[in-house]
Structure 1
Amino acid sequence: MGATNQIEDQPNLPSDHKKLAEKPKIVLTGGGTAGHVSPNLALTASLESDGWEIIYIGSKQGIEKQLVAEAGIPYYGISSGKLRRYFSWQNFIDPFKVIKGIFDAYFAIAKIKPKVVFSKGGFVTVPVIFASWLQRIPVIIHESDFSSGLANRLSIPFATKVCVTFPETVKHLAKYAAKVKHTGLPIRSDILQGNVDKGRALCGFNAELPILFVVGGSTGSAKINQAVRSVLDILTQNHQVIHACGKGNLDSNLKEHPRYQQFEYLGTELADILAIADLVVSRSGANAVFEFLTLRKPNLLIPLSKLSSRGDQILNAKSFQSRGYSAVLFEEDLTSESLLSAIADLNMRRDEYIENMNKSEDANAIAQIIALIKSVAKPHS
């Protein structure tokens, strides 16, 4: 069955004591990218404090396996294929992987006997959701992006409830209106616990000038990197700049710049960096924009163009722009001059953006989702 951590049976106790010892079980599933895992992990502290036993089902080799292991959660690995919309020889093999994944998931669900399944998306979730539906286990799906991904679109008919991150998505899923609830996106608690002193020490910055944090996604962005560095001398007249530029993108000529600190990648340090950031320039992945919203960080979003994506970042950015949470500069309009102008405008309207973010109810995502889980879960006996 591919369980990484075996689920141990209860010891031989009298039946009344055994019932007291058992906790209701919830299966979390999602994988393929960190964005399909971190919102699941954001729920774990609240689930555990509410008395749930958490088990994770993911693929045998995906990034989720490592992330869940680090969190110390029991893990079942199942066979998983990818549903591609382009030609690949793997398209002839992967349907068999998906079928095997359904059998793997079916037997895992039968053994675990969860009261509810919570799915964050990614192709590995399709077999889990279908297997749960066959066994009449309630399923909640969460969609991070403005528009639903293919895996979630295939799975929604088998779900009990569907949580969406953006209010506009409710209209796009009108066919399933009775199932859909706008909850926002659960954010990891550690991102809220950044330390200002640690952040300043990491960068060697002081409190005299505002700090601009530039991040081009987990792998960086050549276009954003080039634009920022082309105007660095102007930016650093009034800002200290932190730049997460992506692996292999450090500029050795800028290592000694007193008001510029560059990193290939930020892991656990990200929370401390966000704690000291006054303004943020970023891509517009769902996790990122909701972290900025939760932390009330005025931000300029530069979404991936449709040439490089299915356009979900553009929709995410437009949604936040329409609600007054973010400024937006489209990649095709990105120049040295437009970047400077957009940052200046963001700085001038900083208080306005913070005021708009303070009115948001999206920061209550975890509480809303936990309440929904309780409402649909099978009764605990």
Structure 2
Amino acid sequence: MRVIISGGGTGGHIYPAVTIAKEIVKMTGSCQVLFIGTKGGLEADIIPKEGFSFQTIEVRGLERRLSFRNVQTIIKTVSSLWQSLAIIRSFRPSVVVGTGGYVCGPVLLAASILKIPTVIQEQNVIPGITNRILARFVDRIAVGYQEAAIHFKYAQRKVVFTGNPIRPEVMSATRSEGQAVFGLDPDKLTLLVVGGSQGARSINTAMLQVHKHFANNPHVQILHVTGQNEYNNIVNSIEQAGIDLSSTGNIIIKPYIYNMPQALAAADLAVFRAGAVGLAEITARGIPAILIPYPYASENHQEYNARVLEKQGAAITINDSELDGSKLLGAIENLLNVREKLDRMGVNSKKLGRSQAAQAIARLVLSLATYNRQ
């Protein structure tokens, strides 16, 4: 069997695609998977390293205003449709899957024209513009949140709630393993703070007051991932505040970590942005969270994602514009000092988790591919 998967631009589109691909290969035993992306996207670097075949098309996203560049983009999109048709005719897939990003547009549209079964996977509560357009043409829409279904007004019958796919390592990592990897004390509560791969200045700045408060605390330890761009500034600011990181014994600052599953396994409370992939992972593990949505996300989708967890009692949301050290510290203390509340949020988080989402999506994809062969 042959499957084409398209998704790109951000890790939030690429890593779910990789997870789905690996699950399909695992279920079938022998399946050829081809990824279609762009030369300039992160997918061009990530996908070949994952061992999958990769081809590119020339396409770019529309600006959210009238411009000459948009005219050029439309012309380029027509060209990318022909490129997609050629790749699909040559590869002859049984099914085509899109996980988001503008690169999916011509690929899924070409597959629809060729009468090949199609699936899109929407990670966020508020669907992106590409997926909203594609909803009219594809066969199935796998959504990460039940609340997303209402935004596919003319395609309700196609929507299947699956949850968002997570890496299997997220569930297999153990607490003791995570503690050993990062040198954490098993007798202390662990606060995990992550602002994204590039870091989040607002979160990092607010954390200075948190570090001052908890430095040398015998009951709480902090694993703070600043992002590569922010690391030196934050370490310098902490030291200027009179905190000796080498002697506190409970504050660990990292620019980036490659073993996030182990960090999640060790966490009792997380301070996160509200990207769909990160939320899928913390809810699968049942981790209570303080969420600070990225304020410039398209359609403000991160805040909508965060509010779903907050509504279910699994998280507290602080808007980036309202964030400061005092507010963040107050939220953290309120949870860490009332263990019953922290535990209750963890239970609610776990209820929202969908650890088997990748398997559900893979089964959905394979059911369409099987139908196509009959």
Query: So what's the TM-score if we normalise by structure 1?
Result: 0.88
- The match for 1:13 is none
Alignment of 1:208-227 (within 5 A): 208-227=187-206
CA distance in 1, matches of 2:82, 2:297: 35
CA distance in 2, matches of 1:88, 1:280: 41
- The match for 1:260 is 251
Q: 1:81 aligns with which of 46, 60, 84?
A: 60
Q: Deviations over 1:118-159 (max 9, x none)?
A: 100101111101110110011101111111111112211111
Kindly indicate whether the alpha-carbon contact (under 8 Å) linking 1:30 and 1:119 is maintained by their aligned counterparts in 2. yes
CA distance in 1, matches of 2:291, 2:140: 31
Structure 1, 352-361 or 365-374: larger mean CA deviation: 352-361
Kindly indicate whether the alpha-carbon contact (under 8 Å) linking 2:84 and 2:106 is maintained by their aligned counterparts in 1. yes
CA distance in 2, matches of 1:25, 1:139: 13
**Partner SS, residue 290 of structure 2:** strand
Kindly indicate whether the alpha-carbon contact (under 8 Å) linking 2:285 and 2:353 is maintained by their aligned counterparts in 1. no
Instruction: Give the direction of change, closer, same or farther, for the CA distance of 1:361–1:309 in structure 2 (3 Å limit).
Output: closer
Does structure 1 residue 318 correspond to structure 2 residue 307?
Answer: yes
Kindly indicate whether the alpha-carbon contact (under 8 Å) linking 1:25 and 1:115 is maintained by their aligned counterparts in 2. yes
Q: Deviations over 1:215-236 (max 9, x none)?
A: 1122111111111112313234
Q: 2:221 aligns with which of 210, 226, 240?
A: 240
Give me the identity figure in percent: 28
Kindly indicate whether the alpha-carbon contact (under 8 Å) linking 1:329 and 1:342 is maintained by their aligned counterparts in 2. no
Instruction: Give the direction of change, closer, same or farther, for the CA distance of 1:110–1:215 in structure 2 (3 Å limit).
Output: same
Where relative contact order (Cα < 8 A, 6+ residues apart) is larger, the structure is: 2
Q: 2:355 aligns with which of 360, 363, 369?
A: 363
- The match for 2:373 is 380
**Aligned-residue offset at 1:117:** 0.7
- The match for 2:267 is 277
**Aligned-residue offset at 1:332:** 2.8
Alignment of 1:5-84 (within 5 A): 24-51=1-28, 52-84=31-63
Q: 2:316 aligns with which of 327, 330, 335?
A: 327
Kindly indicate whether the alpha-carbon contact (under 8 Å) linking 2:274 and 2:293 is maintained by their aligned counterparts in 1. yes
CA distance in 1, matches of 2:18, 2:91: 19
Structure 1, 201-210 or 28-37: larger mean CA deviation: 201-210
Kindly indicate whether the alpha-carbon contact (under 8 Å) linking 1:300 and 1:346 is maintained by their aligned counterparts in 2. no
Letter in 1 for 2:334: D
CA distance in 1, matches of 2:261, 2:147: 29
- The match for 1:137 is 116
Q: Deviations over 1:222-259 (max 9, x none)?
A: 11111111231323423111111112322132542422
Displaced runs of 4 or more, over 4 A: 195-198
The unaligned stretches of length 5 or more in structure 2 are none
Kindly indicate whether the alpha-carbon contact (under 8 Å) linking 2:283 and 2:353 is maintained by their aligned counterparts in 1. no
Kindly indicate whether the alpha-carbon contact (under 8 Å) linking 1:56 and 1:68 is maintained by their aligned counterparts in 2. yes
**Partner SS, residue 120 of structure 2:** strand
Instruction: Give the direction of change, closer, same or farther, for the CA distance of 1:308–1:358 in structure 2 (3 Å limit).
Output: closer
Q: Deviations over 1:85-134 (max 9, x none)?
A: 14665434322321221111101100111111110010111110111011
Letter in 2 for 1:244: V
CA distance in 2, matches of 1:194, 1:87: 48
Query: So what's the TM-score if we normalise by structure 2?
Result: 0.89
**Partner SS, residue 123 of structure 1:** coil
Letter in 2 for 1:354: G
Letter in 1 for 2:55: Y
Aligned pairs, number = 356
- The match for 2:93 is 114
CA distance in 2, matches of 1:161, 1:357: 27
Q: Tell me the C-alpha RMSD between the 2 structures.
A: 2.0
Structure 1, 178-187 or 202-211: larger mean CA deviation: 202-211
Q: 2:326 aligns with which of 337, 342, 346?
A: 337
- The match for 2:285 is 295
Structure 1, 326-335 or 148-157: larger mean CA deviation: 326-335
Kindly indicate whether the alpha-carbon contact (under 8 Å) linking 1:299 and 1:346 is maintained by their aligned counterparts in 2. no
Kindly indicate whether the alpha-carbon contact (under 8 Å) linking 2:2 and 2:95 is maintained by their aligned counterparts in 1. yes
Kindly indicate whether the alpha-carbon contact (under 8 Å) linking 1:327 and 1:346 is maintained by their aligned counterparts in 2. no
Q: Deviations over 1:12-58 (max 9, x none)?
A: xxxxxxxxxxxx11111100111111111112232112223211111
CA distance in 2, matches of 1:81, 1:304: 23
Instruction: Give the direction of change, closer, same or farther, for the CA distance of 1:112–1:229 in structure 2 (3 Å limit).
Output: same
